[in-house]
Structure 1
Amino acid sequence: MNTNLDGLSPREVWEKFAEIARVPRPSRHEEAIRAYLVAEARTHGIACTVDDAGNVILRKPATPGMESRKGIILQAHMDMVPQKNGDKRFDFTKDPIEVRVDGEWVRADGTTLGADNGIGVAAILAVMESEDVVHGPLEALITATEETGMDGARGLKGGMLDGEILVNLDSETEGELYVGCAGGLDASVRMTYREDIVPEGYKAFWIAVGGLKGGHSGIDIHLGRGNANRILFRLLRKCERECGLRLASVDGGGLRNAIPREATATVVVPDAVSDVFRTLAAGLESVLKEEFRGVDDAVTVRITDARRPDSLIDPQSQRQLIRAVRGCPDGVIRMNPSMPGLVQTSSNLARVTAGSGEILVHCLLRSSLDSEKADLGDRIAGVFELAGAEVALEGGYDGWNPNPDSPILHTMIASYESLFGRRPVVTAIHAGLECGIIGTNYPALDMISFGPTILHPHSPDEKVNVASVGRFWQYLLATLRNVPFRS
């Protein structure tokens, strides 16, 4: 693979993306990328503000002859999802992303690439720093901490932006225009347990579920990929019932918006049935390979000897935990009846941990209908409350409702047809875009979202299509040229 992006077109976008990839920027560790953005603005004489939420706002006057156009706001987020393969040594807070050109794609070496949303930020900087791009009054909003709670968008105050149109550059299928998105809700579960001593005559094992593709819990949730937490607890339930398994600790999944790729547990089983336990685990792996054939073929369930744990979860708490996780809704809950292929409501069983007397479970719920989102939260709360847990439903944000009469939508449809000879797909997305939240304080904004083709965001398989970035850039320039006049 070629590690040099210099030969790619459009040069101005790829140069900026290469710079951004060298700046560490996992969510909640955005100091370096924010400093980079401010320095770029200062170097190129661009007006720059950093607000109380850590968002960076850039401003540039209209090019001559474009002063009477509506003000446009280009919007993207500065952070990225830090996911890596288990055998990859990498510190997202310090190390630059190792970018590779792989044929028609750009990807990273064993980590997330950060094209989500680094390509959007790169395009914004290329526009703001250019002396040739034609545009009306222009602002850029580069938000903080989007991936772990949309904190920047939530913290954006009214009165900070002047534009009338917001163009979000965080979509991931070129040729599609997004005019709506799902809202979200976090379900946070907490249980406590009594620590038991490990009885004599038990052997300790470490269970590791892995080899899964994972992915974005909004964009990829409909693909039927394996959830490592669900698989782990499927095995725990079976082995609890058939060979008296006792559970010491669990560490499954990671980020709330990433489908869990790996999950581990430390367990003990009676010496006399340790071979039965191994057989059950091997049998489940074979079953899973058949169930996920063509979807997650590399799924593994590994059993290795472990050091005797210091304590175990008490039997009642173990039963309650295993049954509650097994019963927790996960994956696609309902498809949209009026837009074929679009998920309407889903849940991601993102994180399960148990140790030192405490159990934590985290789910991210999404829906384009607030009523279904609330109902799903109530269902999940009911499952875990029956297990004696405390459940908090929090961090909710509204979806973004489509506006079929949007002036920028009609303008961009015409621009796409003129450029590429076909009509773009107009749709909504099940992932959460910041448009819905930003629209809370800016209800008059005319909003739309588009971007290049990015596959498997939020996983180490993330990659961006080179040719689609070229078309994305052409389309962005045409959009800026054709922004409607002020009424």
Structure 2
Amino acid sequence: MHNNLEDLTKHPVFHYFVEISNIPRGSGNEKEISDYLVRFAHERNLEVIQDQALNVIIKKAATSGYENVPTVIIQGHMDMVCEKNKGNAHDFEKDPLQLRIIGDMLYATDTTLGADNGVAVAYALALLDSQDIPHPSLEVLITTEEETTMRGAHEINPVHIDGKILVNIDSEEDRKLLVSSAGGVIVTQTLPISWEQAPKQVVTCCISISGLYGGHSGIDIDKGRGNANKLLGRVLYDLSSELPYSIQKISGGLKVNAIPREAEAIIQLPSNAIKKLTEKIKNWNSILKHEFRVSDSNVCIEIEQIDTTSAKVFSKATMDKAIAALMVIPNGVQSMSRALEGLVESSTNLGVVTTSATEIKFESESRSSIKSLKYAMVHQARIIAEILGGELSTDSDYPEWPYRPESPIRKLFEEAYKEKYGTDIEIITVHAGIECGILLEKIPDLDAISIGPDMYCVHTPNEHLSISSTTENWEYFLYVLKKTKNFNWQRERVNVIS
């Protein structure tokens, strides 16, 4: 049991995890961490490539006796999701994460931890820095903007990659082998705003929804957790049938790939309607407390009277369309796999809603392990946008990672696990975006596997990482690397080809 960070950093993986936690690395803000990786390589006389997307590739020669083993690509991403609790002054652009240990778990204080995917970076650095770990030739590939656009993986030039065996370290479940993942696309529905003069003698109030659990928009989408944007739509729709109010602004969520935990609407209404509003919000608190008593027991709706009153509000037509959008934009599980029991096949998450001077944006991430179903959700979103008088755009379209029936690297990991632990490792797929799909399109015949330690509540300020799982998973990974020397790669290739 590690009681303090100083003790924890004696382990090479946590030494580097703590070190990179001092470097801001939110998606789109990776210059500093990318340059750090380049300096790390130069200081150890390792070959390094940094491309225009700030991806970093570091190469290390095989240790003695492993010169004839096929090159292994070790891959992860350097960026992290930047989420924090409301009222927290942490600045992800410059502040280091404030790490803390509770039992076997490592947390950051009121922010995301960045174990997704700082673990991969820490594993890679510990391995590159080692002098006594046996391994084949290594190509460490650390990408950028995975959490937002996957731009880094899309920008990789395959001419810089020699290996055909990929070990991705972006899985979040120990003692399991991840062998396929969903594809995804970011869908933005844009609704133009028609403004009108605000009524006279009104009171301005903020209706806020908070206390939701949130989570990863792929991995946690089947857990029935509340989506603050969707709940806000329900509340506003109900209020519109009984209260004479206008909307000044709606907003919710911070990241399209995180289930939104908070949302709010700034409304204006006559002062004599405040009592009725208070009663309605009290009733909605009871409704949601009951609906989400298992998954989101801390859900809360509050109203706060504010001093700032805008001279303009949404027109009645814009208000109706905005509420309709919140109500009808799909959210949650859309289909379950008929081939693998319990696997989400398709889903969509209304992650971010923003209001500007000219438009309201509704941003969703749609995922599916079947390409045609992914685009069916895009077509549905386009129809909804057009019916409401808006437009639709897409971004960050990435492919699924299909299951490979015959995989030498999977077989090696399976054999090593059986030898080390005396039991079979569990083979899993995940309803989330993994860069393997993009890399498979770029590098023909790439054979991929994904591993990682246990981490929980990723993409939320409650994200935490199991310390014991991280060290055990690391030892398993090193055991596999050691076994690459005696594995019959040629026989496995022949079997795959045949």
In 1, the alpha carbon distance for the partners of 2:184 and 2:90 equals 30
Give, in angstroms, the shift of residue 269 of structure 1. Answer: 1.9
Q: How does 1:439-454 map to 2 (within 5 A)?
A: 439-454=440-455
Q: Secondary structure at the match of 1:464?
A: strand
Distance 2:211 2:340 in 1: 33
In structure 2, distance between residues paired with 1:486 and 1:104: 38
Label 1:248 to 1:9 Cα distance change in 2 as closer, same or farther (>3 A).
closer
Query: Deviation at 1:10?
Result: 7.4
Deviation at 1:210, TM superposition (A): 0.8
CA deviation string 1:215-235 (max 9, x = no partner): 111111111111110111111
Task: Give 3-state SS (helix, strand or coil) of 1:261's partner.
Answer: coil
Give the deviation of 1:158 after TM superposition.
Answer: 2.0
Task: Report the counterpart of residue 111 of structure 2 in structure 1.
Answer: 111
Structure 2 residue 148 is the aligned partner of structure 1 residue 145: no
The one-letter amino acid of 1:394's match is D
> Where does residue 481 of structure 1 map in the other structure?
482
CA contact (8 A) 2:46 2:58 kept: yes
- After TM superposition, give the deviation of residue 81 of structure 1 in Å: 0.5
Corresponding residue for 1:232? 232
Task: Give the corresponding residue for 1:88.
Answer: 88
**Number of aligned positions between the proteins:** 487
Check if 1:207 corresponds to 2:207: yes
For residues 9 and 86 of structure 2, the distance between their equivalents in structure 1, rounded to whole angstroms, comes to: 33
CA distance in 2, matches of 1:277, 1:356: 27
Tell me, yes or no, if the aligned pair for 2:181 and 2:431 is still in contact at 8 Å: yes
> What CA distance in whole angstroms lies between the structure 2 residues aligned with 1:52 and 1:272?
59
How much has 1:245 moved relative to structure 2?
Answer: 2.2
What displacement does 1:352 show?
Answer: 1.0
The structural deviation recorded for 1:67 is 1.0
Any idea what SS the aligned residue of 1:317 has? helix
Per-residue CA deviation, residues 330-382 of structure 1 (Å, 9 max, x unaligned), is 01111212222211111010111224231111110000001111111111221
Match of 1:363 in 2: 364
CA shift for structure 1 position 57:
0.3
Q: Is the 8 A contact 2:31 2:54 kept in 1?
A: no
The residue that corresponds to 2:493 in the other structure is: none
Check the 8 A contact 2:181/2:400 in 1, yes or no. Answer: yes
Could you say which residue in structure 2 is the equivalent of 1:458?
459
Deviation at 1:485, TM superposition (A): 4.9
Q: Deviations over 1:114-151 (max 9, x none)?
A: 11100111001101110111111111000011111111
Secondary structure in 2 matching 1:318: helix
- Structure 2 CA distance for aligned equivalents of residues 390 and 117 of structure 1: 34
Length-normalised TM-score, structure 1 = 0.97
Counterpart-to-counterpart distance in 1, 2:132 and 2:412:
22
Give the structure-2-normalised TM-score.
0.95
Q: Secondary structure at the match of 2:5?
A: coil
Q: Is this contact kept in 2: 1:46–1:59, CA < 8 A?
A: yes
SS at match of 2:470: helix
Partner of 2:50: 50
- In 2, the alpha carbon distance for the partners of 1:118 and 1:419 equals 26
Amino acid at match of 1:363: S
What displacement does 1:204 show?
A: 1.4
Distance 1:88 1:3, change over 3 A: farther
CA distance in structure 2 between the partners assigned to 1:377 and 1:281 by the alignment: 34
Q: Is the 8 A contact 1:232 1:264 kept in 2?
A: yes
Q: Contact 2:248–2:268 at 8 Å: present in 1 too? A: yes
8 A Cα contact 1:2 1:100, kept in partner = no
Q: Which runs of 5+ in 2 are unaligned?
A: 491-498
- After the TM superposition, which residues 246-261 of structure 1 pair with which residues of structure 2 at under 5 Å, given as runs? 246-261=246-261
Change (3 A) 1:32 1:9: closer
**TM superposition shift of 1:29:** 0.6
1:277 aligned counterpart, secondary structure: helix
For the residues of structure 2 that align with 1:317 and 1:250, how far apart are their CA atoms? 12
Maintained 8 Å contact 2:164/2:443: no
Match status 1:468 vs 2:460? no
> In structure 2, what residue type is equivalent to 1:440?
E
Task: State the match for 1:311 in structure 2.
Answer: 312
Q: Shift in Å at residue 289 of structure 1?
A: 0.9
Describe the SS at the equivalent of 2:256: coil
CA distance in 2, matches of 1:284, 1:355: 28
- Which amino acid in structure 2 is aligned with residue 30 of structure 1? E
Would you say the 8 A contact 1:190–1:359 is kept in 2?
Answer: yes
- Please give the root-mean-square deviation of Cα atoms over the aligned residues, in Å: 1.5
Q: Could you tell me how far 1:310 is from its partner in structure 2? A: 2.3
Structure 1 counterpart of 2:494: none
Q: CA–CA distance in 1 between the matches of 2:361 and 2:196?
A: 19
Q: 1:341 to 1:239 in 2, by over 3 A?
A: same
Look up the match of 2:344. Answer: 343
Aligned twin of 2:77: 77
- Give me the whole-angstrom Cα distance separating, in 1, the residues matched to 2:99 and 2:346: 34
Cα 1:465–1:234 change in 2 (3 A) is same
Are the aligned partners of 1:67 and 1:136 in contact in 2 as well (CA < 8 Å)? yes
Unaligned runs of 5+ in 1: none
Q: Secondary structure at the match of 1:360?
A: strand
Counterpart amino acid of residue 180 in structure 1: S
Residue in 1 that maps onto 2:321 = 320
How far residue 2 of structure 1 moved from its aligned partner, in angstroms, is 8.2
Conserved in 2, the CA contact under 8 Å of 1:26 and 1:81? yes
* Distance in 2 between residues matched to 1:63 and 1:355, nearest whole Å: 57
CA contact (8 A) 2:368 2:431 kept: yes
SS in 2 for 1:243: coil
Deviations 1:391-434 (A, max 9, x none): 11333111000112100101101111111222111111101000
- SS of the residue aligned with 2:132? coil
Q: 1:391/1:144 Cα in 2 relative to 1: closer, same or farther (>3 Å)?
A: same
Give the whole-Å Cα distance in 2 for the aligned partners of 1:395 and 1:105: 33
Equivalent residue for 2:411?
410
- Residue number in structure 2 paired with 1:169: 169
Tell me how far 1:466 sits from its aligned partner. 1.0
- Secondary structure of 2:347's counterpart equals strand
Distance 2:53 2:445 in 1: 22
**Equivalence for 2:126:** 126
Preserved CA contact (<8 Å) 2:84 2:110:
yes
Q: Which region of structure 1 is more displaced relative to structure 2, 112-121 or 261-270?
A: 261-270
Q: In the aligned structure 1, how far is the partner of 2:461 from the partner of 2:309?
A: 33
CA distance in 2, matches of 1:177, 1:26: 27
The answer to whether structure 1 residue 376 and structure 2 residue 405 are counterparts is: no
Query: Can you list the C-alpha shifts for 1:24-60, whole angstroms capped at 9, x where unaligned?
Result: 1111011111121111112222211102221100001
Instruction: Tell me the amino acid that sits aligned with residue 5 of structure 1.
Output: L
